[in-house]
């Protein structure tokens, strides 16, 4: 078992390479895009992909490649922030519920159940329509949306690890709850959390694309893949590359993180 080679896990390889390429693209876009993503050139509308415009231009004559690059920033920002919010609160709730048990567990899990009963995207749409559209509220909504899954995973991890002898030993030694949670239990539940993080990341990216497609997420003219997909829709027959390329990038991103999470899970299944 020890000889298990990470390079033998095909999903992991594909996942890592997709994510790496996208990350590099995002990092590069921070400093350089071939054209300004919002610059319009009405004389060069819906141009086909060529050497001057790698992915062609959209209906305003904006360079699609630059917008896809810029859009990756949005995707990463939303994914990262939403996961952070979800992880932070999800961990707090899950850890308390799993470690203390009893009525705290009951109460918090019933709240989480109630949250899970609402389909995530509907919940996000509701939040956004009550407050305002925009990137901040999108992040908050998606963050809240991902709390339940984190809470559940952390809780079950904690319940499992809590019963191990070394935890009982440190309780007997008089260690505080805080110390036990973070020093003794947390290191033993990192891998399921890692899986949840990658999964939730791709979920958030997809949800943001969905919300922006509905006009509720990121506001124009800032590029977001979901909104680009919507803007490309009327030109499906005249400029098919616009909709295909944008859709492909959403697919790469979501697929990349999903495969990454499957890869990590496979690794850890084999380890145990």
Q: Which is nearer to another protein, 108 or 200 (CB)?
A: 200
Q: Does 219 bind another protein (CB under 8 A)?
A: yes
Q: Shortest gap between Cβ of 77 and another protein (angstroms)? A: 18
Q: Which is nearer to another protein, 46 or 92 (CB)?
A: 46
Report residue 207 as tokens: 């949800």
Q: Using CB under 8 A, which of 106, 110, 233, 271 touches another protein?
A: 233
- What is the distance between the alpha carbons of residues 223 and 204, in angstroms, rounded to a whole number? 17
Q: Which is nearer to another protein, 55 or 99 (CB)?
A: 55
Q: Which long-range contacts (CB under 8 A, 24 or more apart) does 247-254 make?
A: 249/22, 249/68, 249/71, 249/72, 249/225, 250/205, 250/206, 250/209, 250/225, 250/226, 252/18, 252/21, 252/22, 253/18, 253/22, 253/72, 253/75, 253/202, 253/205, 253/225, 254/202, 254/205, 254/206
- What is the distance between the alpha carbons of residues 226 and 222, in angstroms, rounded to a whole number? 11
Q: Which is nearer to another protein, 11 or 101 (CB)?
A: 11
Binders of another protein among 100-139, rule CB under 8 A? 129, 132-134
- What is the distance between the alpha carbons of residues 237 and 18, in angstroms, rounded to a whole number? 29
Q: Does 220 bind another protein (CB under 8 A)?
A: yes
**Range in contact with another protein (rule: CB under 8 A) among 78-86, 91-99, 182-190, 244-252:** 244-252
Q: Does 254 bind another protein (CB under 8 A)?
A: yes
Binders of another protein among 15-44, rule CB under 8 A? 38-40, 42
Report residue 80 as tokens: 């990262």
Q: Shortest gap between Cβ of 110 and another protein (angstroms)? A: 28
Report residue 84 as tokens: 């952070």
Q: Which spans of this chain sit near another protein (rule: CB under 8 A)? A: 11, 38-40, 42, 45, 59-61, 129, 132-134, 215-216, 219-221, 231, 233-238, 240, 243-244, 247-248, 251, 254-255, 258-259, 262, 265-266, 269
């Amino acid at each position: 078992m020890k000889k298990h080679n990470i390079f033998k896990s095909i999903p992991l390889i594909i996942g890592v390479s997709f994510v790496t390429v996208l990350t590099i693209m995002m990092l590069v876009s921070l400093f350089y895009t071939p054209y300004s993503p919002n610059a319009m050139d009405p004389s060069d509308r819906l141009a086909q992909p060529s050497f001057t415009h790698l992915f062609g231009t959209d209906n305003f004559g904006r360079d699609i490649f630059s917008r896809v690059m810029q859009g990756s920033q949005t995707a990463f920002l939303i994914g990262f922030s939403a996961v952070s919010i979800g992880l932070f609160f999800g961990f707090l709730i899950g850890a308390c519920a799993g470690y203390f048990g009893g009525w705290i567990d009951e109460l918090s899990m019933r709240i989480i159940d109630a949250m899970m009963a609402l389909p995530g995207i509907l919940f996000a749409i509701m939040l956004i329509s009550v407050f305002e559209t925009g990137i901040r509220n999108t992040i908050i909504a998606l963050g809240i949306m991902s709390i339940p899954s984190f809470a559940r995973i952390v809780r079950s991890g904690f319940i499992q690890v809590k019963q191990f002898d070394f935890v009982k030993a440190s309780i007997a030694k008089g260690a505080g709850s805080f110390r036990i949670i973070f020093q003794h239990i947390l290191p033993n539940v990192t891998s399921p959390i890692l899986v949840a993080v990658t999964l939730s990341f791709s979920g958030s990216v997809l949800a943001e694309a969905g919300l922006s497609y509905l006009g509720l997420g990121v506001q124009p003219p800032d590029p977001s893949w979901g909104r680009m997909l919507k803007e490309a829709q009327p030109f499906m027959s005249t400029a098919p590359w616009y909709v295909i390329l944008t859709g492909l990038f959403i697919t790469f991103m979501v697929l990349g993180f999903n495969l990454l999470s499957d890869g990590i899970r496979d690794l850890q299944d084999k380890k145990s």
